[in-house]
């Protein structure tokens, strides 16, 4: 039994599905740009940023939020792919996947890899557009960020997979938006640096420091400057393992969370 054809086929299917949904691509691109060009422009006056690593000089707010917006693209995409899994389950195509004679963990890994690749392409499209508006990173950063994006994508995709196994119906997905995406995004270092958070509230700072999304963003931020953030990497790896284990547990046929009256 060969395993690789399934990986390519699942990735291809994810890619085709993405291409077929042109609105999804456009909104994936426009959403971070709106934040970058509108939100950041308004905030730059209000927020003073001091020099903290990886930055070596004063930076504008636009520069600060680019890594966070890369994370946002991946966060939305991770959740979108979990949405598609719930949809697949309701539409039955999930059954096809799960009756394949390949190990379930491999099938879920293929799915995860597929959605991560799509996320990465979107992030690069966003970085290119940002560069067109004059918001650029060091050249080495564009290469160094690739492995960071890969890890962040896997982490958020695994979270999506885990959630998808617990969400019973498509309608419940709005809840995921409110209780997962927004808190994860706002309670992170995506929009404000952690030290700034600490100034206003210690508790808020601690929540942000615990949020794995913060670490995904920091991993991306440092990588964009050709630097390596070991703590962030460790956090992201641990979170990926936890979310992955949850997803496997959720899709275990003996536990049968997909068990419902057929």
Number of residues that bind another protein (CB under 8 A): 34
Cα(248)–Cα(94) distance, integer angstroms: 15
8 A C-beta contact, residue 82 and residue 163: yes
Nearer to another protein, 31 or 252 (CB): 252
Cα(120)–Cα(178) distance, integer angstroms: 24
Q: Per CB under 8 A, does 20 bind another protein?
A: yes
How many other C-beta atoms can be found within 10 angstroms of the C-beta atom of residue 114? Answer: 23
Nearer to another protein, 198 or 258 (CB): 258
Q: Per CB under 8 A, does 9 bind another protein?
A: yes
Residue 260 phi/psi, 5-degree rounding, is -155, 165
Q: Per CB under 8 A, does 96 bind another protein?
A: yes
Helix segments in 21-103, DSSP class H? 22-34, 40-46, 61-91, 93-98
Q: Per CB under 8 A, does 1 bind another protein?
A: yes
Q: Per CB under 8 A, does 253 bind another protein?
A: yes
Nearer to another protein, 69 or 167 (CB): 167
Residue from the set 39, 93, 135, 150 that interacts with another protein by CB under 8 A = 93
Cα(20)–Cα(253) distance, integer angstroms: 32
Residue from the set 45, 46, 132, 262 that interacts with another protein by CB under 8 A = 262
**The Cα angle at residue 37 between residues 36 and 40, in degrees rounded to 5:** 60
Which residue, 147, 155, 117, is CA-closest to 241?
Answer: 155
Instruction: Scan residues 99-118 and list those touching another protein (CB under 8 A).
Output: 99-103, 107
Residue from the set 30, 95, 169, 177 that interacts with another protein by CB under 8 A = 95
Q: Alpha-carbon dihedral of residues 31, 21, 6, 4, nearest 10 degrees?
A: -50
Cα(34)–Cα(75) distance, integer angstroms: 16
Sequence-separated (6 or more) residues with CB below 8 Å from residue 103: none
Residue 44: CB minimum distance to another protein, A:
43
Residue from the set 73, 97, 145, 154 that interacts with another protein by CB under 8 A = 97
8 A C-beta contact, residue 86 and residue 167: yes
Residue from the set 15, 17, 125, 228 that interacts with another protein by CB under 8 A = 17
Q: Per CB under 8 A, does 91 bind another protein?
A: yes
- Which among 8-16, 61-69, 126-134, 201-209 is the span making contact with another protein, rule CB under 8 A? 8-16
Query: Which residues of the shown chain bind another protein in the complex (CB under 8 A)?
Result: 1-6, 8-10, 12-13, 16-17, 20, 91-93, 95-103, 107, 253-254, 256, 258-259, 261-262
């Amino acid at each position: 039994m060969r395993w690789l054809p399934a990986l390519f086929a699942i990735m291809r299917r994810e890619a085709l599905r993405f291409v077929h949904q042109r609105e999804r691509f456009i909104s994936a691109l426009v959403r971070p740009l709106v934040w970058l060009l509108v939100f950041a422009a308004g905030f730059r006056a209000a927020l003073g940023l001091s020099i903290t690593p990886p930055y070596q000089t004063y930076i504008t707010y636009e520069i600060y939020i680019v890594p966070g917006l890369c994370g946002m693209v991946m966060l939305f995409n991770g959740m979108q792919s979990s949405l598609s899994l719930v949809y697949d389950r309701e539409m039955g195509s999930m059954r096809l996947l799960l009756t394949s004679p390949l190990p379930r963990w491999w099938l879920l890994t293929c799915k995860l890899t597929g959605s991560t690749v799509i996320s990465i392409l979107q992030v690069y499209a966003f970085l290119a557009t940002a560069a067109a508006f004059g918001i650029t990173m060091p050249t080495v950063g564009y290469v160094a960020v690739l492995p960071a994006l890969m890890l962040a994508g896997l982490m958020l995709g695994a979270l999506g997979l885990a959630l998808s196994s617990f969400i019973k119906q498509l309608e419940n997905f709005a809840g995921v938006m409110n209780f997962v995406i927004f808190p994860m995004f706002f309670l992170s270092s995506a929009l404000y640096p952690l030290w700034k958070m600490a100034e206003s509230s210690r508790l808020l700072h601690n929540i942000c420091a615990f949020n794995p999304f913060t670490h995904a963003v920091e991993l991306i931020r440092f990588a964009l400057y050709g630097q390596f953030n070991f703590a962030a990497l460790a956090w992201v790896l641990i979170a990926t393992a936890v979310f992955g284990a949850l997803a496997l547990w959720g899709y275990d046929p003996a536990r049968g969370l997909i068990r419902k009256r057929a």
